[in-house]
């Protein structure tokens, strides 16, 4: 049986680290910057970065509407940090007009950008994660949190009394960065989602 093919949106962020984590988790992984690359994958990781810049680049590269269409058609996606922001249905503090983060409306949540504070307020800590025997080590860098969870959205982890990991069907999102810790459990979970095993 061939491995599922999972793309990493290669606009900003830890693209190499996500590619390595996906390969370690049994997937065939590739970078995605073009429509043809997006069309070739079974699932997509949207890494961290700056959500307003990523939204701008999605428009510039003519990927915004094709990505929305693939997500609406059920393509699994995992968003980390800025990726969580973009997968949301509503974004608080989205930015200034013309340079705002654009919600892809793949997960029925409201997120707040930079909810934990500025870059200097970034932090790390262990987070209990539903379904895992041991906590995950959360690296929170100018991280969002979830302020509203819609019907059908499962909260997988919390920090500071707010959801920081959620799942809705084939969509997964974390406010933190598991790709930098060496812990592959979240990436393995996403590979299983794409492969239909979870």
Which tokens belong to 12?
């900003």
Selected catalytic residue, list 18, 50, 179, 187: 179
Tens digits of residue pLDDT in 143-189: 999 999 999 999 999 999 999 999 999 999 999 999 999 999 999 99
- Report how far apart, in Å, the C-alpha atoms of 198 and of each of 167, 173, 188 are: 11, 15, 10
Catalytic residue among 17, 18, 56, 177: 177
**CATH code of the domain covering residue 130:** 3.40.50.880
pLDDT (0 to 100) of residue 1: 54
Catalytic residue selected from 81, 100, 137, 162: 81
User: What pLDDT score was predicted for residue 10?
Assistant: 98
Question: Is 177 among the residues known to form the active site?
Answer: yes
Active-site residue flag, 50 = no
- Count the domains in the chain: 1
Write the pLDDT tens digit of every residue in 48-101.
Answer: 999 999 999 999 999 999 999 999 999 999 999 999 999 999 999 877 767 899
User: Residue 136, by phi and psi: left (phi above 0), alpha (psi -120 to 50) or beta?
Assistant: beta
φ/ψ (deg, to 5) at 195: -80, -5
Is 74 exposed, middle or buried, given 0-12, 13-18 or 19+ CB atoms closer than 10 A? exposed
How far apart are the C-alpha atoms of 153 and 173, rounded to whole Å?
11
Indicate the SS3 state at residue 14: coil
Tell me the three state secondary structure of residue 93.
coil
| H helices present in the chain, as ranges | 15-24, 35-39, 51-60, 64-72, 82-87, 185-194
Domain hosting residue 84, numbered range: 5-194
């Amino acid at each position: 049986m061939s491995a599922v093919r999972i793309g990493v949106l290669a606009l900003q962020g830890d693209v190499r680290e996500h590619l390595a984590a996906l390969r370690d988790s049994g997937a065939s992984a590739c970078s995605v910057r073009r429509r043809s690359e997006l069309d070739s994958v079974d699932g997509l990781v949207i890494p961290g970065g700056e959500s307003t810049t990523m939204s701008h680049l999605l428009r510039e590269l003519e990927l915004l509407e094709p990505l929305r269409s693939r997500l609406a058609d059920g393509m699994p996606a995992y968003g980390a940090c800025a990726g969580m922001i973009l997968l949301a249905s509503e974004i608080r503090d989205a930015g200034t007009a013309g340079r705002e983060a654009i919600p892809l409306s793949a997960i029925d949540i409201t997120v707040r950008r930079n909810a934990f504070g500025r870059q200097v307020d970034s932090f790390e800590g262990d987070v209990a994660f539903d379904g895992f025997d041991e906590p995950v080590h959360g690296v929170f860098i100018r991280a969002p949190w979830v302020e509203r969870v819609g019907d059908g959205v499962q909260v997988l982890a919390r920090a500071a009394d707010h959801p920081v990991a959620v799942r809705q069907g084939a969509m997964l999102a974390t406010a933190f960065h598991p790709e930098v810790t060496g812990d592959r459990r979240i990436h393995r979970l996403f590979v299983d989602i794409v492969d239909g095993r979870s």
